[in-house]
Amino acid sequence: MYFPKYRLRRLRGNKNLQRMVRETKLFVDDLVMPFFVREGKKVKKIISSMPGNYQLSVDNLVREVEEVKEADIPAVLLFGIPDVKDEEASSAYAGEGIVQRAVRAIKDRVPGMIVITDVCLCEYMSHGHCGIIKGRPLPKTESRKPKAEIDNEATRHLLARTALSHVRAGADVVAPSAMMDGQVSAIRGILDENGYQDIPIMSYSAKYASSFYGPFREAAESPPAFGDRRSYQMDMANSHEALREVALDIEEGADIVMVKPALGYMDIIYRVKEKFGYPVAAYSVSGEFAMVKAAVEKGWLEEKKTVLEILTGLKRAGADIIITYWAKDVARWLKES
């Protein structure tokens, strides 16, 4: 038997041939662009650690979403920054809350755009945690760091109320990100009871406690005032547990499951896709964005090539949907190439 030595290279010599045998392709259809919306008019506040991203008031947000539509990106994901924060996150589920008004404005002015809302309480809580805190935290001393004990039951019902108010405002998909047990079933239940059986849930199923959320916490003004999120977000060292999280979410009614962050967790994306065959979303988070941007600013990396390589990697791993702060650039780059 004759095995020519460079058999595989034959398919690489010609650009067009390469195009034909390429296994993974990134499409504009895969992208979701996240936005931060806040109160006020004509607000466009720079987020220093996320160049090119801003906190926007509803009027400016609508303009940006129009551009996203022109770029042919199918969906946006909204995060709200309310004026009022308290210990019940009451602005999260207010009918006239910031996200609710933003959703209405987009549905009104940018028809056809899919509006996904992040369903969490951290941006609306005075203490910045994703749920209701049981009792009071301990005072901070050197020997005993305060710990946040979250009331899972109370929280999942507030998340459900929040999701319902987003859907009433016109949200097409809700995306719970608080990592409370049973949050998907609470949301599925309340939506169904209110006649919204057809609204899908994209669940942040495997969301890890990650340093890569750093810039986001500046962007959304939601850093925890004490303690951290390790009692509810996943331990970075675990992968079987991620599969259990996903299995439960699917059982509870999730339609799309998410892995977050993306870059350091491609093995999780792969395993989730292989095992469940469900639509998988990968969230390329703020820190992944910031570190490449910083290297690009220093002239150490070439932005377009690096970003396309990272995002193609996410698709190759098994992601169907990619949430990225580069969505608009990628849409442009894909047209060029």
- Decide: residue 239, CB within 10 A, 0-12 exposed, 13-18 middle, 19+ buried: middle
Question: According to the binding rule CB under 6 A, does residue 47 interact with ligand PBG?
Answer: no
| Residue 120 binds ligand PBG, judged by CB under 6 A | yes
Question: Binding marks (x or -) toward ligand PBG, 6..45, rule CB under 6 A?
Answer: ----------------------------------------
**249/124 Cα distance (integer angstroms):** 24
285 part of the interface to ligand PBG, by CB under 6 A: yes
Token digits of residue 199: 């609204």
| Residue among 59 and 151 whose Cβ is closer to ligand PBG | 151
207: annotated active-site residue: yes
Residues 148-207 that bind ligand PBG (CB under 6 A): 177
Number of Cβ within a 10 Å radius of residue 321: 21
CB 149 within 8 A of CB 132: no
In whole angstroms, give the CA distance from residue 73 to residue 323. 11
Stretch that binds ligand PBG, among 103-111, 115-123, 144-152, 247-255 (CB under 6 A): 115-123
Tell me the sheet residues that pair with 118.
175
Out of 152, 162, 183, 286, the residue judged to bind ligand PBG by CB under 6 A: 286
**Of positions 124, 216, 232, 265, contacts ligand PBG by CB under 6 A:** 216
- Closest by CA to 211, choosing from 308, 286, 265, 271, is 286
Measured from the CB atom, the residue of 108 and 235 that comes closer to ligand PBG is: 235
Residue 58 contacts residue 330 (beta carbons within 8 Å):
no
Nearest CA-CA partner of 232 in 255, 212, 207:
207
231, two tokens: 């009692």
- Which residues between 226 and 265 bind ligand PBG (CB under 6 A)? 229
| 41, 107, 260, 273: the active-site residue | 260
Minimum distance from residue 223 beta carbon to ligand PBG (Å): 8
Decide if 280 contacts 257 (C-beta within 8 A).
yes
Angle between helices 286-297 and 303-317 (to 10 degrees): 150
Which entry of 5, 25, 207, 305 is annotated as an active-site residue? 207
Determine the 3-state secondary structure of 106 from DSSP. Answer: helix
Q: Which of 255, 284, 259, 283 is nearest to 270 (CA)?
A: 259
Establish whether the linkage from the previous residue to 261 is cis, with ω within 30° of 0: yes
Of 35, 54, 93, 213, the one binding ligand PBG by CB under 6 A: 213
Q: Which stretch binds ligand PBG (CB under 6 A): 11-19, 57-65, 92-100, 209-217?
A: 209-217
Question: Quick one: 71 or 175, whose CB is closer to ligand PBG?
Answer: 175
- Point out which span in 1-9, 118-126, 134-142, 314-322 binds ligand PBG (CB under 6 A): 118-126
By C-beta, is 61 or 281 nearer to ligand PBG? 281
Binding to ligand PBG by residue 322, rule CB under 6 A?
Answer: no
| Residue pointed to by tokens 């034959």 | 10
Active site residue 85: no
Residues within the interface to ligand PBG (CB under 6 A)? 118, 120, 122, 177, 213, 216-217, 229, 285-286
> Mind telling me the catalytic residues?
207, 260
